[in-house]
Chains A and B, each alone.
Chain A
Amino acid sequence: MKFRGRAWKFGDNIDTDAIIPARYLTTSDPDTLAAHCMEDADPEFVKKIKRGDIIVAGENFGCGSSREHAPIAIKAAGISCVIAGSFARIFYRNAFNMGLPIFESADLWGKISDGQEIEVDGDRGNVTVIDNNIDPVCVQPIPPFMQELIEDGGLMKHLSKKRN
């Protein structure tokens, strides 16, 4: 599991209302939700990102509501993975259930600047900062059960596989 893209930085406690405001929850269409991804945290976000880019945030990313629209919006906007100091519990579940890769790293946020290109090696559990001489930064490896979910393509596909 490898991802390469520009890193877009956000602070601590980015809540689900910031990721996808409730005023857009009259639909669950991924493309519509993607058009408003992170709107209340950074109104320019969807204009500046390219497919494959990465969100790098502080502590407690995704706190607040249980809306799965949040990981749906992030995934549909073309973000390849999210790296945060920590994740709120329901967002953490939802991301794996949806097949959106997420990683925890206490150190990465302070070592990169906004828009800098990074490469994430999910198997080795590290992040390389491109055009920078610093050593690769550790990310916490994904627990085996979660890896199984992502490899199967999310919870529902995992269940189908188990039932068959």
Chain B
Amino acid sequence: MSELDEFSARLGRVVAQRIGLPGEVSEVRRLTGGATKATYDFRARINDEVRHFVLQISNPRAVRAGDPLGQLPRVVGGDDAALMMAAASSGVPVPEVKAVLVPEDGLGQGFITRFVGGETIARRLLREPEFANLRQGFAAQCGRILARIHAMEGTRLPFLQPFGAARQVALYRAAYESFDAPQPVIELGLRWAEDHLPENERRTVQHGDFRMGNLICDAHRIASVLDWELAAFGDPMGDLGWLMIRTWRFGGAHPVGGIGTREDLFAAYEQESGHRVPRKAVRFWEGFGCIKWAIMCLMKGEEHRRTGTRTVEAFAIGRRMEEPLYDFLDLLAEGD
């Protein structure tokens, strides 16, 4: 039996036990894959119907005890699924969770969702005529969805880590320092962040990676919010700032995903949440977001030092570090 056959057989047993019989699995295809995370697309027969599903495997980071990278929040497996189910009940569009893997399944940590059709590729969402309607309302829809995420009941999600501004800056500083690859602009950015921590932060559920690329869209709307693994309890403004950094504009002219305005995002957020958007805090998160992304690029480019596995893609991301640093220096030059 080949590795894929064995994998399909195990997957079929999960489907049969927890989704429906006969559960016979076909067309298993890996969509994305990495050291700790992989997504598969497959069909399964339930009663007389062939249905379309997605399997997401998300294993914890392989780090040694005491490694600062191990301190960064990462929601995996059943927790990830619980978070998405909580999001669904708060009116956030997410793929419906159908089954959560257990160790006996022999597939790692993860879960199965219903397949959601649509487009995630930013380049197409920004430019193709068929998405004109989506672009029109995109920023406002982001505002409404974020307000709903930030209204999620946190007490039901005890696995989420506290990750306010001060802690984020400290943990990303520790992560950066662990590489011993001194970067003066990162040092400057971390000091700037320490000096400009937002005042009176609220503490809510935070998606942590809400941006173009993690949103499945159809011609009219955002159909699903994906990739919840960086979620935490933090300043909700962190999600707004992160969404607007230039990296996630994919060449588009406007701050919100390249296609929407700040004003539309803020107005919709304020209306849906009943909370004012403190502009200074958003600016902090945009500036720190640049530094954070630069550190993430460094982490990606250097991850082979920890994992022993190197890829051209990871090395290429390593060389993207100066993009957000350039944007950060731009933001500094604009002044307060």
- B and A form one assembly: no
B residues within 8 Å of A by Cβ?
none
Which positions in A face B, CB cutoff 8 Å? Answer: none
